[in-house]
Each structure stands twice: as structure tokens, then as C-alpha cells.
Amino acid sequence: MAAFETPPLGEYPVIPPVREGTMAHSKPFVAKADHQNPLGFPGELVPGWEKVAVTKLGQLVQQSRALQVFLDSCVKCGACTDKCHYYLGTSDPKNMPVARQDLLRSVYRRYYTFAGKHFPALVGARDMTKEVLDDWYSYFHQCSQCRRCSVFCPYGIDTAEISMAARDIMDSVGLGQKYSNEIIGKVHKIGNNLGLPGPALRDTLDGLEEDVKEATGVDVRFPLDEKGADVLLITPSADFFAEPHIDGLIGYAKVFHAAGISWTLSTHASEAANFSLFIGSHDHLQKVAERIREAALELGTKRLVVGECGHAWRVAYSFWNTLIGPFDFLDARYPAPQHICEVTHDLIRRGALTLDKSANADKVVTFHDSCNVSRGSRMGSEPGGQFRIPREIIRACVDKFVDMAPETIGETTFCCGGGGGLLTDDLIELRVKGAAPRMQALQQVVEEHGVNYLAAICAICKSQFTKVLPYYKHPMDMIGSVHGLVSNAIVLGPKS
């Protein structure tokens, strides 16, 4: 991997001038046959792939009103051109959302529109060639599908939909991305992204029970596969594995303990993440989600709660009802999946938790809105709950909370730079550069308010920041779980 420079952060954010080709070299490792075949994708570029790709594109457009409308409607107004964190961090014009869309739109026009068939040069239509495919592989893996651009688009054109379609087409011709496809294979085979088998998971949870007992003197349980528990917790497997994720898991367990809610994890569905979203595969999206329905039915749980994971919450909130519903097997009082923040927030509001802010007295906290939570889901019953609820939880747990600049949070939040299947070391340059806009906003609150804790509710964000914070001269342990703060603050009374 070529050496690269971390983007310098000035006093104010600037829109960089276009510099063509600066990220043309950025490509993730290509999936080998071992990772492709189990998912039903060809192991290598198929003969006549050009035709296969064009046919697949036509099918996808026919199946999706979004694609149909988005590919036709763009007027090239330029509103999105300065909205993508990857453009802002790399200044490569193909990272401008409209230019990224055009990589696919140009092919769509060539084969499926009157103007593109007859006047290709006039409307920028292109044949499906190896050069185009290489561009696709490079730049559709420089999109974290965070949907920030679509908030600013007058037609709501969602680059994520186009990037997912492009990746779906590439998989269908045998050009898959190793990172995502290997992980999806593990979920199918073992049950989670990490490939953590059931006994290892039980060991981990036993260890956590001991740790919490040692730290608090209280027997907080981490149940696995317990039939008849009320709540089935579906959480990203990162929560079983590493800091700062694991503090979040401890936080969930303490909340359930304090509220007296019986809960369980499932070996069969020991993963909230669903990377099939990133590669645009409906089949895998549904199959991976199906495990959750199966686990809930098998364990007889009455509620579904999802842990801190951004895209998992998008899938759970926006797609589960479609993919694995109807949820007629759940308790009528909780007829839909809930976010762990909704559960904790509700308990706080009802006074069911005792929280001691002094446990977090050393922290000045800011909150990073994760893209999929912000722009692909909601929490609570009111619009904007996904922004308000986590902040109210944080404020209940800490004294000092400040928000970053308004245009960098809420529904216009900047992606961490590692979402959408890009959280892999072979894309580290992209990840560091793509984090620049978030780091810019963070830098400001660090300087003005002494912020020393960046809270998030997404496993990808947490892993990404752990990796990239040091590039921007911040300590890697500055990033933490929202439920890590809850875990610190919660007061567990002795069981009577």
C-alpha cells in the first residue's frame, strides 16, 4: 500500500478543488472463489461478463422504482458535489455523489435510454468495458452508502441505492469484494461476522459475568439461548469481542438486570450486522435476517431488541417487518423491534434506573450520529427520535455534553468513513481521508470545550474511530459506546 498523508485540518472546513484520479488506485481486495461460491456468485470474471452485467442492470432497474427514478432524474445541478465525506477528504471528483452515480448511469443510458443508444457522446453514455468495470470496483467501494448526499438532493436521489446495485452487478459477474463476502459467508456458516462459535461465545459471556461481578459485586447475567426469556437481544458480534464495544454489551446487561427484564442472546442469531445490505443482495439480506425470526421463535422470546449497530438498526427498523415479518409472534405491547436506546431511554424516563453521573465526571462527551441510524431509521414515536433519544441517555449519564457543529450531526451527520463494507485494512487510506470531515468537527469541540469522549451507537463507527483517531492525534480510546457511559453510571442495588 502506498504511503499517504492524513488530510490536514484547517481552522474551518473547506471544499477542496477537483483533483482528478487521486484515489483511482484505491481498491479493496477482490474476493476469491472460496468467498464467492458459497454466496452463489461466480468465482471469477465470467466469460461475456459485459452482457451479463448489462442484463443484470436492466433487471435491477425493473425491480426497483428507486433505481428507475434516480437514474432518469438527475439534472446535474451540483448540489451534492460537496456533500460526500470521501470527496471532501480526497478531492477526487469521482467521489462526488453525482459523478459516482454517473459511473453506473452512463452505462444505463447507453443500453436502456433513447438518448444514450443514439447519441452516447452527447449525454455521456458509455459502453460496458473493462475500464468502466475497474472504475466501478474502485469508486463503488469508496461509497459508504451513508445517504448524506440524498438529504441534499432535490429529488432525493440516493447514491447508496446505486452503489448497492453496482456491487450486486459486480458480484453477479464474479467481481466481489473479499471483506464483505467473506463476512457474509461466516454469518451463514457460523452465525456471526467474527466466526465465533457457540462454545466460544458462552466462554466470553461467562468471562463477562465474572468481570462484572468483580467490578460491582453484583451477579449480572449474560444469558445465551435461554428459552422463555422475554427479550431476544440481537447485537453486533463486535460487542462480544473488543473494546470499546464490549462496554456497551455490559451496559445493556446492567440495564436489563436493573430493570428486571429477562433476556437472552442467541447462538443461531449471534449477529445483528447484515452486510448483505452493503453488497445489495436481496437474497442474502433476507436470509441473514431470517435467522433472527428463527431464533425468536425457537426461544419463544416476546420482544426483539437490537444493540448498538448502525446498519443493523436500519435493517431492523426499516426492513425487518418486510423481510421477516409480520411480527405476530411478539408481545402485542412490543410488536416491533426496538433499539436498546429506546429500551434504556424508556426506563430512564419511568425512573426505573438509578444513574450516578459522577461516575463519568472525568468525561466531556460529544455524540457522533451514525449514518444508518440517522438517515435509515428512527427511534421512538416522533420524527428525530433517533437524534434525541441517544442524547437524552448520555445527558442522564454525564454532566458535560456538547454537540459538534450542527451541519455535521443529526440528519446531515458525516459518516465515520468506514461504513458500507469499507471497514477493512486494505482501504485504510480511504478510511483515514474519509474521516476528515468528522475529525474536523471533533477537533473544534475538543479545542473549544475540552471534549475527551466521542460516544457512538454503531460497531463500525467504533472500530473505525479506534483506528483513525490516532491519525488525527487523538487517543484511540476516546471513542466509546453510549451504553458504556450507562454502564459506568448505573447503580445496581443488591438483589433482595
Partner 1 sequence: MPALTVLYALLFYVAAATLVGGVAWKSWVYARTPQPLKIPIPPAPTTRRGVVLRVLLEVTLFRALFRSNKWIWLFGWLFHVALLAVLLRHLRYFTEPVWAWVALIQPFGLYAGFAMLAGLAGLWARRVLVDRVRYISAPSDHLMLALLVAIAASGLAMKYVAQTDIVALKAFFLGLMAFDWKPLPADPALLVHLALVAALMFVFPVSKLLHAPGVFFSPSLNQVDDARERRHAAGWSAKIVHVNRARGG
Contacting partner 1 within 395-434 (CB under 8 A): 411
How far apart are the C-alpha atoms of 268 and 290, rounded to whole Å? 11
Verify binding: residue 99, partner 1, rule CB under 8 A. yes
Grouping H, G, I as helix, E, B as strand and the rest as coil, residue 170 is helix
Q: 5: how many CB neighbours lie within 10 A of its CB?
A: 9
Grouping H, G, I as helix, E, B as strand and the rest as coil, residue 119 is coil
Least distance in angstroms from the C-beta of 248 to partner 1: 23
Least distance in angstroms from the C-beta of 158 to partner 1: 5
User: Nearest 5°: CA angle at 226, between 292 and 326?
Assistant: 30
Among 112, 140, 256, 317, binds partner 1 (CB under 8 A): 317
Verify binding: residue 384, partner 1, rule CB under 8 A. yes
With cell 460496458, the residue in question is: 128
How far apart are the C-alpha atoms of 180 and 6, rounded to whole Å? 25
Least distance in angstroms from the C-beta of 450 to partner 1: 31
Least distance in angstroms from the C-beta of 31 to partner 1: 24
Among 27, 32, 221, 282, binds partner 1 (CB under 8 A): 282
Between 75 and 361, name the residue whose CB sits nearer to partner 1. Answer: 75
Between 5 and 328, name the residue whose CB sits nearer to partner 1. Answer: 328
Verify binding: residue 334, partner 1, rule CB under 8 A. no
Verify binding: residue 321, partner 1, rule CB under 8 A. yes
- The residues in 135-194 that bind partner 1, with binding defined as CB under 8 A, are 147, 150-158, 161
Grouping H, G, I as helix, E, B as strand and the rest as coil, residue 474 is coil
CA dihedral of residues 333, 337, 340, 343 (deg, nearest 10)? -10
- Which region, judged by CB under 8 A, interacts with partner 1, from 122-130, 250-258, 345-353, 479-487? 122-130
Q: How does 442-477 read in b/e, with b if 16+ C-beta sit within 10 Å?
A: bbbbbeebebbbbbbbbbbbbbbbbbbbebbebeee
Least distance in angstroms from the C-beta of 295 to partner 1: 7
- The residues in 335-354 that bind partner 1, with binding defined as CB under 8 A, are 336-337
Least distance in angstroms from the C-beta of 425 to partner 1: 30
Between 441 and 489, name the residue whose CB sits nearer to partner 1. Answer: 441
CA distances 94 to 44, 86, 130, 142, Å, are: 26, 10, 17, 9
Between 234 and 355, name the residue whose CB sits nearer to partner 1. Answer: 234
CA distances 418 to 168, 288, 304, Å, are: 20, 21, 27
- Which region, judged by CB under 8 A, interacts with partner 1, from 48-56, 132-140, 234-242, 294-302? 294-302
Between 161 and 271, name the residue whose CB sits nearer to partner 1. Answer: 161
Of 364, 444, 441, 360, the C-alpha closest to 402 is 364
- The residues in 11-70 that bind partner 1, with binding defined as CB under 8 A, are 15, 17-18, 20, 61-66, 68-70
Least distance in angstroms from the C-beta of 121 to partner 1: 7
How far apart are the C-alpha atoms of 380 and 389, rounded to whole Å? 8
Least distance in angstroms from the C-beta of 239 to partner 1: 23
Verify binding: residue 79, partner 1, rule CB under 8 A. yes
Q: DSSP letters along 34-93, please?
A: HHHGGGT--SSPPTTHHHHHHHHHHHHHHH-HHHHHHHHH-----TTTTT-HHHHHH--G
Least distance in angstroms from the C-beta of 68 to partner 1: 5
Does a cis peptide bond (omega within 30 degrees of 0) precede residue 244? Answer: yes
Dihedral pair phi/psi, residue 339, rounded to 5°: -85, 145
Among 1, 14, 75, 215, binds partner 1 (CB under 8 A): 75
Dihedral pair phi/psi, residue 495, rounded to 5°: -65, 130
Among 319, 367, 471, 472, binds partner 1 (CB under 8 A): 319
Least distance in angstroms from the C-beta of 232 to partner 1: 13
Distance of CA 269 to the CA centre of its chain: 18
* Contact between residue 159 and residue 97 where contact means Cβ atoms under 8 Å apart: yes
- The residues in 204-263 that bind partner 1, with binding defined as CB under 8 A, are none
Between 115 and 361, name the residue whose CB sits nearer to partner 1. Answer: 115
Between 30 and 233, name the residue whose CB sits nearer to partner 1. Answer: 233
Verify binding: residue 93, partner 1, rule CB under 8 A. yes
Among 39, 54, 74, 478, binds partner 1 (CB under 8 A): 74
Among 114, 217, 495, 496, binds partner 1 (CB under 8 A): 114
Among 207, 383, 450, 475, binds partner 1 (CB under 8 A): 383
Q: Say which residues have a Cβ less than 8 Å from residue 89's Cβ, sequence separation at least 6.
A: 7, 417, 432, 433, 434, 435, 436, 437
